[in-house]
């Protein structure tokens, strides 16, 4: 008993050291990006590229914002991201409920086909989707930016795993109480699997916000450029002032960092719950 009591503090100390080391490894690139953003490029190189700012330029973020015209680009990215996340949540929840609770012909086959779409990289569907957007005359528009991403097989799979953990007896009891499918979904299924739904919302946000290939393919006017396209433009137009590119990268990553900081528990709980219940 005494030996176990003595070992516990040491185990905790080791775990804290390991986690601290991992945190440093993850955060160090972010720190170095901040250092490069604040430093004057020529002075930083002449100083040997140390891990601290050199000849600090405190106005670098405002300059990067103006050079990249980030005001309009962030607005486009926010609208696109909100539409995609909302649509994927709606379609994924409804499809997951159907695959988890409803009985219909070829259910297993349809689910396998549905999941098989996860194996298709964007390069396979890019050209046909772009041609479709052109035929609909949706270039430089919100429908063109969000159209192919209103549904996702990954969200259906993840939320279905959570729904499969709900006891069948609970569904039967709700039916006896007069709950229809929509009432059971709204009052029971979603509240029970809230961590999983929240974790998928975070994942969908990250994917939508970081899109570059698709917006680049369907946007030809500057007014419809997203933040990721603007980031690339800043990096290409300020080669002699590369600290502006680092500052722009931090501005583009700020919403993601804030989201992960405030919703990290929901993300971990949701993914863990989905793995355990599956």
Q: How far is CA 202 from CA 57, 160, 268, in A?
A: 34, 17, 11
Instruction: Give the domain ranges of the chain.
Output: 2-46, 63-277
Quick one: pLDDT at residue 5? 53
Q: Which residue has the higher pLDDT, 88 or 39?
A: 88
Q: For 178, left (φ over 0), alpha (ψ -120 to 50), or beta?
A: left
Quick one: pLDDT at residue 87? 96
What is the pLDDT averaged over residues 62-83?
90
Nearest to 215 by CA among 148, 162, 118, 165: 148
Q: Which residue has the higher pLDDT, 6 or 36?
A: 36
For the stretch 42-68, pLDDT in tens is 888 888 888 888 888 888 898 889 888
Q: CB 134: neighbour CB atoms within 10 A? A: 13
**What pTM was computed for the model?**
0.84
What is the pLDDT averaged over residues 21-40?
88
Quick one: pLDDT at residue 214? 92
For the chain, the average pLDDT equals: 85
What is the pLDDT averaged over residues 226-255?
83
What is the pLDDT averaged over residues 252-270?
76
**Does position 4 have pLDDT exceeding 60, yes or no?**
no
What is residue 150's three-state secondary structure? coil
What is residue 189's three-state secondary structure? helix
- CATH topology (fold) of 63-277: MetI-like fold (1.10.3720)
User: Would you give the DSSP letter of residue 1?
Assistant: -
Q: Which residue has the tokens 């990067």?
A: 64
For the stretch 173-198, pLDDT in tens is 877 777 888 888 888 888 888 888 98
What is the pLDDT averaged over residues 96-121?
87
In angstroms, the CA 268 to CA 273 distance is 8
What is the pLDDT averaged over residues 192-211?
90
């Amino acid at each position: 008993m005494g030996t176990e009591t003595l070992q516990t503090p040491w185990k905790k100390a080791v775990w804290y050291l390991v986690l601290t080391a991992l945190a440093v490894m993850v955060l160090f690139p972010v720190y170095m990006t901040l250092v490069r953003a604040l430093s004057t490029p020529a002075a930083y190189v002449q100083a040997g590229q140390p891990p601290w700012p050199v000849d600090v330029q405190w106005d670098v973020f405002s300059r990067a914002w103006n050079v990249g015209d980030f005001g309009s680009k962030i607005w486009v990215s926010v609208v696109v991201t909100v539409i995609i996340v909302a649509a994927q949540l709606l379609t994924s929840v409804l499809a997951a409920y159907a695959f988890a609770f409803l009985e219909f012909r070829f259910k297993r086959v349809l689910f396998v086909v549905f999941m098989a779409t996860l194996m298709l990289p964007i390069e396979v569907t890019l050209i046909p989707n772009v041609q479709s957007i052109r035929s609909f005359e949706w270039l430089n528009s919100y429908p063109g930016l969000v159209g192919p991403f209103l549904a996702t097989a990954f969200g259906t799979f993840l939320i279905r795993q959570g729904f499969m953990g709900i006891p069948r007896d609970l569904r039967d009891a709700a039916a006896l109480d007069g709950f229809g499918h929509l009432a059971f979904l709204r009052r029971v299924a979603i509240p029970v699997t809230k961590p999983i739904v929240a974790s998928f919302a975070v994942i969908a946000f990250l994917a939508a916000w970081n899109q570059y290939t698709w917006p680049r393919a369907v946007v030809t006017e500057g007014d419809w450029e997203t933040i990721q396209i603007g980031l690339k433009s800043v990096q290409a137009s300020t080669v002699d002032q590369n600290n502006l590119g680092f500052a722009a990268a931090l501005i583009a990553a700020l919403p993601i960092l804030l989201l992960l900081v405030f919703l990290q528990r929901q993300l971990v709980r949701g993914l863990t719950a989905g793995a355990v219940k599956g």
